Amino acid sequence: MKRRLFLAGLGAACCSRLLHAQALPKPDRKDLCPVCGMLVAKYPNWLATIVWPDGHAHFFDGAKDMFKFLQDLPKYAPGHRAGEISRILVTDFYNLERIDARQAWYVIGSDVYGPMGHEFVPLASKADAGDFQKEHKGRSVLAFDQISPALVAQVDAGKF
């Protein structure tokens, strides 16, 4: 009886770890951003992640490069299709938790710079995005679907 309990406990620990790993893959030391070529693990506060159904992931050193990637998959990841993406995650600026990129809000034109310069700073809620905008002189708050290639080019150039 004791032995069975022990095994049951082991099984639970094993599976919860597995589930966790599946839910949030992490970059290792050598993972490079497919857009700019920088080492991603050096910038955990800016990490963005795209997870595919077979469990493999692409990591980015900021939401801006993630948007560039999504907007030109044939260039950055031939053979991948946007419709097949399992999850897109960005890192919330305030609590550094990884959040659903499609539900996040993005502030542009602020005084906060990412590893690649001007950024789309991700926040978990519209209220947090409003607070951040006030604290850091942001120009606008945007939803995921509002971020077009033209807007990404503008942010890159520092024009808001």
Interacting residue ranges for Zn ion, rule: CB under 5 A: 33, 35-36, 61, 65
Residue number, 36 or 73, with CB nearest to Zn ion: 36
Q: Any residues with CB less than 8 A from the CB of 78 and at least 6 apart, and which?
A: none
CB nearer to Zn ion: give 31 or 131: 31
Taking the least distance from each CB to Zn ion, the nearer of 35 and 151 is 35
Cβ-based nearer residue to Zn ion, 65 or 128: 65
Look up residue 67 and give its amino acid. Answer: F
Nearest to 102 by CA among 147, 135, 60: 147
Q: How far is the CB of 2 from Zn ion (least distance, A)?
A: 52
- The CB-nearest residue to Zn ion is 33
Q: How far is the CB of 116 from Zn ion (least distance, A)?
A: 5
Cβ–Cβ < 8 Å for 135, 123: no
In this structure, is the dihedral angle defined by the CA atoms of residues 27, 88, 145 and 94, taken in order, positive or negative? negative
- Nearest approach, Cβ of 36 to Zn ion (angstroms)? 3
Name the DSSP class of 50. Answer: E
